[in-house]
Chains A and B, each alone.
Chain A
Amino acid sequence: RKEVEQDPGPFNVPEGATVAFNCTYSNSASQSFFWYRQDCRKEPKLLMSVYSSGNEDGRFTAQLNRASQYISLLIRDSKLSDSATYLCVVIGNYGGSQGNLIFGKGTKLSVKP
């Protein structure tokens, strides 16, 4: 089983739609969780951290379910500028890779007018 798995998409949605991305991780020792956004051929940029209590930043809501080892990202009222690849990222504190970011392969979102 891969360490971090995401649906690769692409998700093609109209402007204004609500879209949800899901991610599962395999190692229960993972301790920190993030969503990153990556535009084509650009560097990944931190979108938001994910906490057990859930967190919201404007149109974006992230949730973590430790029991199910599952992370989600919800985008409401999607904009054209939300088109990007969304990377689910997990940090473990195990083995020799303390602090290592483990990336999912990303889910591509395309928002159409």
Chain B
Amino acid sequence: EAQVTQNPRYLITVTGKKLTVTCSQNMNHEYMSWYRQDPGLGLRQIYYSMNVEVTDKGDVPEGYKVSRKEKRNFPLILESPSPNQTSLYFCASSESRGIEGYTFGSGTRLTVV
């Protein structure tokens, strides 16, 4: 089944403790992206990647890192999480720069205390 898999689904952590949210897609998509969703603000792009070893900042990249060492994986790294990074995170992938629409993962609900 074609899908984008995110892990974990839920995470509660403490301020400053490094964490990684994994994202993997099995559709051989070139384009991958991370979004966060907050009440009243909608979905905002954090980082995106157009191919292996090619990543770039989205609209809200501060406090996040990503890597794209393999085509299928696009992990999101929070080196020193803070409470303002409490949010619902979605990973998404697309075949052709989003022109055909994106497939989203099921989301990761992160709480930083």
Contact = CB atoms under 8 A, between A and B. Distances in A.
Contact of B33 (A32, A34, A49, A101): A101
A99 B42 contact: no
Given A44-B90, A44-B104, A46-B102, A99 B43 contact: no
Main secondary structure on B side of the interface with A: strand
Which range holds the interface residue count of chain A? Answer: 20 to 34
Interface stretch (A13-21, A57-65, A68-76, A102-110): A102-110
Main secondary structure on A side of the interface with B: loop
B107 A99 contact: no
Contact of B106 (A42, A100, A101, A106): A42
B37 to A, nearest CB: 9
B42 A106 contact: yes
Contact of A100 (B58, B101, B107, B109): B58
A42 B98 CA distance: 20
Contacts, number: 66
Interface residues of B, number: 31
A74 B45 CA distance: 27
B40 A98 contact: no
B45 A100 contact: yes
A50 to B, nearest CB: 11
B94 A99 contact: yes
A1 to B, nearest CB: 15
Contacts of B92: 101
Interface string B76-113: 00000000000010101010011111111111010000
A98 B50 contact: yes
Given A41-B88, A106-B42, A101 B107 contact: no
B43 A103 contact: yes
A98 B51 CA distance: 13
A82 B57 CA distance: 35
Interface in B2-52: 31, 33, 35, 40-45, 48, 50
Given A41-B88, A44-B90, A91-B98, A99 B50 contact: yes
Interface of A: 31-32, 34, 41-46, 49, 87, 91, 96-101, 103-106
